[in-house]
Structure 1
Amino acid sequence: MGVDRRRRHGDDVRRRAVALIGAGVSVRHHIASIAPLERWCREYRAGGAEALRPRAKGRPRGSSNGPAPAATREQELAEQLAFLEAKVAYLEKLHALQVSRSRGATRPRS
């Protein structure tokens, strides 16, 4: 099993580091590189102290409205009607194609 060696700095460390930006701040707070300090400063300038707070991770939860209401009888019948109409149209086109092919097969090819 691997060990996660990435450091996760809390918002209080981020705020202190931004406030103390200068020589030795990365050593004092065990920050490996200047990149996070630069990003934190940029975020602090853009959004203040609130921008340094940890953000929620992962996929957001769905709405708490509950399941969708069941379809009414009329809606079910409308869906069934649309399906059957599409099926009939498909079968009519298939039949027309079969008829045109059978007529074409009886004619001699030139």
Structure 2
Amino acid sequence: MRVDLRVKHDIEARRAAIGLFERGHGFKSAAKALSVPRNTVRQWLYVYRSFGSEVLLSMDGKQTRYTFEQKVAAASAVVDGGMSKRDATEAFGVMSLAPLQRWCALYREGGAEALRPKPRGRPRGSGPKSRGRT
């Protein structure tokens, strides 16, 4: 059986956390009861409140890709519109606060163009120049 090493905590821990959240526990008491780091349980609570238990149980360690339009809309709602970051994660379907905070910082520095995707990797033609035979 293949084990996904990107997921640090199994589905049973997340299922137990959902049960604690439904009984009114916060992330601190849930983290203590489950012996899971607080920040992890805090992230689970954000996902649970924003998207529900199905999404929390189906999290598989893969990063979600967001379009340029989603990034600009979420960042401008927070920076220009005064929306809270938590409300923006729910409204725009952002799975975590970390990318939203990064987008807001970039948006403040360079506007919407700072959020445009940048080319990755080595530029074409930047390899070593071939020498002629001597």
Q: TM-score, normalised by structure 1?
A: 0.51
Mapped partners of 2:61, 2:97: distance in 1: 20
How do 1:70-85 residues align onto structure 2 when only pairs under 5 Å count?
A: 70-71=133-134
2:118 to 55, 70, 74: 55
Of residues 19, 23, 31, the one that matches 2:94 is 31
Q: 2:96 & 2:126 partners in 1: Cα distance?
A: 40
> Contact 2:76/2:107 (CA < 8 Å) preserved in 1?
no
Unaligned runs of 5+ in 1: 72-110
CA 1:70/1:4 → structure 2, altered by over 3 Å: closer, same or farther?
A: farther
Counterpart residue number, 2:73 = 16
Partner residue, 1:74 = none
Alpha-carbon deviation of 1:38? 1.1
Identity of matched residues, %:
36
Q: Which has the larger radius of gyration?
A: 1
Would you say 1:40 and 2:103 are equivalent positions? yes
Q: Deviations over 1:38-69 (max 9, x none)?
A: 111111122221110011122322249x7333
Structure 1 CA distance for aligned equivalents of residues 133 and 88 of structure 2: 60
Distance in 1 between residues matched to 2:118 and 2:61, nearest whole Å: 20
Question: Between Structure 1 and Structure 2, how many residues are aligned?
Answer: 71
Which residue does 1:75 correspond to in 2?
none
Which runs of 5 or more residues in structure 2 are unaligned? 5-59
1:78 alignment counterpart: none
